[in-house]
Structure 1
Amino acid sequence: MAHASVDMDAVRSEIGSYADTRTPLTEREQDYKDLIGFVPPRIAARLAVTGALDPDLLSLQEEARLRAMYPACFDTKTSQLMVFGMLLVKLLDGAVLHARAARRSGATWEEMQAVVSLAYLFGGMPVANRGAEIIAQLAESESKERADATV
């Protein structure tokens, strides 16, 4: 999966450095790396920009995200499967990231397809097509990662 990135040196030069003294940037980034495997560019930009200009708001955003994303009543896999389906039914590109997070959290291919099937009921054929495409791309990515690991 290709991910456009932001020139963080330019951001720091123009806007300023990350200024949250309570939570280091590396700690904030690690949450995303653990869940998705990397820090998505939009999230990296939010961490850098809001972290420089309004670190208190960034802290509130991250607290709300953690509380909503990890409720005590659901395990991470279930939460990620639900978010995948919510984003997929709206054809939002974040569905790709949450599909990846669901797989990294233990979701099976069957569970992934079940989410696509549910989303299809409310979003129609475009959702079914995009969901299948996301699953196929994940399968390809995982296959490549396994092949690279054995080299």
Structure 2
Amino acid sequence: MSIQEPYEKIFGFVPELTKKRHAFSAEVFPEILDIQEEFRKSCIHSEALEEKTAQLILFGILSSHMREGAKVHAIASRRLGATWKELHSVSNLVFLFGGLSAMNFSIKLLAEVKEQEEKQK
């Protein structure tokens, strides 16, 4: 399995920041890239959590920090069967700890993902 395949499987593409990290690290410090990817895989793909639940949690964590990476986890959540109501519920939790700005950010991302999905139909 290539280093990009897990990303393509869960997101449908490889996020731009991830591509850049892979390319730079593969050139400069390839052995650490392998370690990073193995650790990432172990954290995200746990037997204790369903994949959809893990992706919803990642969406929430990144949204509360207003990180653009939250968007790819919203996409992954949808690809794994999450409803818009489930994602919005995560945004409600983001509000509790990140405030209105973080919730607004997460809802903006959800609206973008929804728009992308509707264009693809």
State the alpha-carbon separation in 2 of the partners of residues 48 and 138 from structure 1.
27
State the alpha-carbon separation in 2 of the partners of residues 47 and 36 from structure 1.
16
CA shift, 1:132, in A, is 1.4
Name structure 2 gaps, 5 residues minimum: none
State the alpha-carbon separation in 1 of the partners of residues 13 and 78 from structure 2.
14
Q: Which has the higher contact order (CA 8 A, sep 6+)?
A: 2
State the alpha-carbon separation in 1 of the partners of residues 21 and 113 from structure 2.
25
Name the counterpart of 2:77.
Answer: 102
Name structure 1 gaps, 5 residues minimum: 1-22, 147-151
Name the counterpart of 1:44.
Answer: 19
Paired amino acid for 1:103: R
3-state DSSP of counterpart to 1:72 = coil
State the alpha-carbon separation in 2 of the partners of residues 30 and 78 from structure 1.
21
Provide, for residues 88-110 of structure 1, a one-character-per-residue CA deviation record: whole Å limited to 9, x for no partner.
Answer: 01111111111111111111111
More helix by share: 2
Name the counterpart of 2:40.
Answer: 65
Percent of counterpart pairs with the same letter? 36
Runs of 4+ aligned structure 1 residues displaced above 6 Å come to none
Flag the structure with larger Rg.
Answer: 1
State the alpha-carbon separation in 1 of the partners of residues 21 and 99 from structure 2.
32
Name the counterpart of 2:119.
Answer: 144
Provide, for residues 73-120 of structure 1, a one-character-per-residue CA deviation record: whole Å limited to 9, x for no partner.
Answer: 111100000000000011111111111111111111111011000010
TM-score with structure 2 length normalisation? Answer: 0.95
State the alpha-carbon separation in 2 of the partners of residues 131 and 49 from structure 1.
29
1:134 aligns with 2:109: yes
Name the counterpart of 1:20.
Answer: none
CA shift, 1:34, in A, is 0.8
Name the counterpart of 2:92.
Answer: 117
Name the counterpart of 1:6.
Answer: none
